[in-house]
Structures are given as structure tokens and as C-alpha cells.
Amino acid sequence: MSQTETPAKPTTRTTATSARPPLWKVILLNDDVTPREFVVKVLRRVFRMTEDEATAVMLTAHRRGACVVAVFTREVAETKAEQANEAGRRAGYPLALTTEREE
Ligand code: TYC
């Protein structure tokens, strides 16, 4: 390239115009009724967590009122939240998980 030529513009974008789908948080809400062990069991089954991971998430929700369990694409987040809610319903507990779009 000669001294007078302008270099080609870089083609790599640094800002996200993103082909990635938005992510959705699954949020576990505390309640006064659902037994701790039941919450842990459901988290382990639905979110494939270890005992320690599930216990940590359960305790955070218990102490702070809510805890982000994980993030997924919208459909996966909604399916998992519903599976956990359904498990609570079937057992007669008010276990509640919601989903929220990530910023
Ligand atoms: N607070 C419940 C109890 O004391 C346990 C619990 C924890 C319930 C987290 C829901 O998301 C929850 N038995």
C-alpha cells in the first residue's frame, strides 16, 4: 500500500449487533412453606445442579427473597421454570420460579 492510500476499514465489529439470542434468567422466589430439602431436590433435578450448588441457591433465595438460578434462551428458561413450578404444585407447595429477560 502506498503512503497516500487509505487503509481498508476493519470488517470486524466491536459493538454487539449480535446473532446471539437474548438470555432469560430463571429466578427462584422464597416462600415460608416449601421445605428446604424439597427446593434442593427440585433444583438438582430440573437444573442438574450438585447438592452443594442447589443448597447455595436455595439458601440465597431463603435469605434474600430471591435468587437467579441460571440463564437460558427464553424457551428453555420458561420450560424449566414451569417444570419446577409443576413439581411444587404436585407436592402441594407454593414453590415459585419466574423468568426475566436479561439486560
Ligand atoms: N423459606 C423456606 C423454609 O424456610 C425454604 C425455601 C427456600 C423455600 C427457598 C423456597 O425458594 C425457596 N422452609
State the cell numbers at 102: 436479561
CA angle 54, 92, 101 (to 5 degrees): 50
- Protein residues with CB under 6 Å of any ligand 1 atom: 28-32, 34-36, 39, 58, 61-62
Alpha helices per DSSP H over 1-103: 36-47, 51-64, 74-91
Enter the DSSP assignment of 67.
E
- The model's pTM: 0.84
What's the CA-to-centroid distance between 63 and ligand 1, angstroms?
A: 9
Q: How far does residue 7's CA lie from ligand 1's centre (Å)?
A: 61
Pick the more confident residue, 7 or 102. Answer: 102
**Number of neighbouring beta carbons within 10 Å of residue 57:** 20
C-alpha cell, 22: 437474548
Q: pLDDT per residue over 34-56, tens digit each?
A: 999 999 999 999 999 999 999 99
Q: How confident is the model at residue 91 (pLDDT cuts 50, 70, 90)?
A: very high
Domains defined for the chain, CATH in brackets: 34-101 (3.30.1390.10)
